[in-house]
Amino acid sequence: MRTYFKVPAFSKRAWKVWLRNRDVFMKTYKVNFILPFLEPLLYLFALGFGLGRYIEVIEGMTYARFIAPALIAVAIMNSAFFECTYGSYVRMYYQKTFDAIIATPLSIEDVITGELLWGATRSLIHATIMLPVLAAFGLIELPSSLLIIPLSFLAGFLFACIGMCFTAITPNINSLSYPTYLFITPMFLFSGTFFPLTLLPKPIQYAALATLPLTHVVGITRALTLAAPSGFLLVSFAWILIVSLILFVLAVNLMKNRLIV
């Protein structure tokens, strides 16, 4: 009698779980804010200004300008995904935090929803910190790039749900490296991040668009940082929204199957 697609009965109490994670995060806020600040600089120097010297122009722009939106998209992906895989797994399995919370009026649906919203918030924080850095180098257009802030929450939620599904089915913490290497790393490389998707053979392009969420996120962030909208954005946006909803329902059900025995 396992169910996978029952609509989760979560409540606004999920915010209590979000608050708990925020409180922990704020305990080490200095580190948590400085790292996302330094990370884009690292990539920009290595890829943009190092490798970029050999690539004069790519799609009519400098390489640094080309990869800037991809760096944001990757940060959105990593923040939420790792928060809701390793972070959530540690809270669930080692710290028994979920067990403690469900002994209160909160339900398991509230807990998982709160965790996912927190994962999305991590993405939002990370992306928001990167924007001024990239803007300082003149790599992104304003104000259109500001729309990345709400986008990062939505896209972060998607990656949080993906991570949580893996957390729900992983037999142990080490096995979380499978989705990391087999899913996240390829996505990092083949989503139009460091070279345009159009360089790939057509069937692979379609396969990437159908199965790799990051392609859609990169597509949108790039359109926003370059202030160059296209019709395909709506498709990408709809893709993210629909897949998020499906995976949200699946993530909560999988977690419930795992924890409520």
Partner 1 sequence: MAEDLTKRFGEFVAVDKVRFTVHEGEVFGFLGPNGAGKTTTMKMIQCVSPMTAGTLTVFGMAVSSHQREIKRLLGVAPQETNLDPDFTVRENLLVYSRYFDMPRTTAERIIDELLDFVQLRSKRDTVIEHLSSGMKRRLILARALINSPRLLILDEPTIGLDPQARHLIWDKIKSLQSQGITIVLTTHYLEEAARLCDRLVIMDTGRILVEGRPDELVRAYIGSEVVEAANEPEVIACLARNGASYEVFGDRVQIYTTNPREITYTLLKECKLGQLTARSATLEDVFLKLTGRKLRE
Q: How far is CA 172 from CA 5, 56, 119, in A?
A: 24, 46, 20
Min dist CB 156 to partner 1, Å, is 21
Min dist CB 102 to partner 1, Å, is 5
For residue 65, the tally of other CB atoms under 10 A from its CB is 23
Of 13 and 65, which has the nearer Cβ to partner 1?
13
Min dist CB 4 to partner 1, Å, is 18
Min dist CB 12 to partner 1, Å, is 10
- Could you check whether the bond before residue 36 is cis, i.e. omega within 30 degrees of 0? no
66-96 burial: b if 16+ Cβ within 10 Å, else e: bbbbbbbbbbbbbbbbbbbbbbbbebbeeee
Of 216 and 256, which has the nearer Cβ to partner 1?
256
**For residues 119 and 152, is the Cβ–Cβ distance under 8 A?**
no
Of 23 and 56, which has the nearer Cβ to partner 1?
23
Binding stretches for partner 1 (CB under 8 A): 13, 16, 19-20, 23-24, 27, 95-97, 99-107, 260-261
Of 92 and 131, which has the nearer Cβ to partner 1?
92
